[in-house]
């Protein structure tokens, strides 16, 4: 006797479809978070590129512009523009190497670290509220997303980025 469980109506779609659904949902969720804006007036609004650079500088207290470009996938020329904008907002500082005046290291300021903390709090509050505060599968979701992030970074195209990519569009 066939049960509902055996019915083809209850079979999960193929893995390729589910992976595409996951990618689509990630993009939709990211966009929804961006649409919300920020309630805290102390938050400095950042472009996507500025946010990527700040995320890197929070994880690694200092870095050279070349290291930032490699870690974020941004083109080196775009990193210079982003750093100038972040410096103008008081979120980073550039320090010239004393031994080699051509070398520069980039550091987040206290204001930069505080801004990132405020932004993350608002993101966390929004996502938690959207999930109804349900943390039952949160650790599994984080593990999967971290694995995907690591895999995508490890297989990121070099300079010859694919047609339509953010890198090719100088984003």
Q: Looking at the domain assignment, is residue 30 inside a domain? A: yes
> How many other β-carbons are positioned within 10 Å of the β-carbon of residue 60?
14
Q: Is 14 helix (H, G, I), strand (E, B) or coil?
A: coil
170 touches 78 (CB < 8 A)? yes
Put residue 28 in one of left, alpha, beta given phi > 0 → left and psi -120 to 50 → alpha.
alpha
Q: Looking at the domain assignment, is residue 140 inside a domain? A: yes
Q: What is the pLDDT of residue 16?
A: 96
What's the domain range around 77?
Answer: 16-154
Q: What is the pLDDT of residue 166?
A: 58
Q: Looking at the domain assignment, is residue 11 inside a domain? A: no
Give average pLDDT by consecutive 10-residue segment, the chain, 171 residues.
57 94 97 92 93 94 94 93 97 88 90 96 96 98 97 83 56 49
CATH number, domain containing residue 46 = 1.10.10.10
Q: Looking at the domain assignment, is residue 54 inside a domain? A: yes
Q: What is the pLDDT of residue 99?
A: 78
Alpha-carbon distance of 68 to 76, in angstroms, equals 8
Q: How many folded domains does the chain comprise? A: 1
68 touches 147 (CB < 8 A)? no
- The pTM assigned to this predicted structure is 0.78
């Amino acid at each position: 006797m066939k049960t509902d469980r055996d019915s083809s109506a209850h079979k999960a779609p193929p893995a390729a479809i589910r992976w595409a659904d996951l990618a689509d949902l990630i993009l939709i969720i990211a966009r929804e978070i961006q649409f919300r804006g920020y309630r805290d007036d102390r938050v400095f609004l950042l472009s996507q590129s500025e946010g990527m650079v700040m995320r890197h500088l929070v994880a690694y207290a200092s870095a050279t512009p070349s290291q930032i470009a490699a870690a974020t996938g941004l083109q080196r020329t775009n990193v210079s523009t982003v750093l100038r904008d972040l410096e103008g907002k008081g979120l980073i500082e550039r320090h010239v190497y004393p031994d080699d005046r051509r070398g520069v290291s980039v550091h987040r300021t206290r204001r930069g670290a505080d801004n990132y903390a405020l932004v993350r709090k608002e993101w966390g509050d929004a996502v938690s509220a959207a999930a109804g505060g349900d943390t039952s599968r949160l650790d599994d979701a984080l593990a999967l997303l971290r694995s995907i992030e690591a895999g995508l970074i490890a297989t990121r195209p070099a300079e010859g980025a694919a047609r339509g990519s953010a890198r090719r569009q100088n984003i």
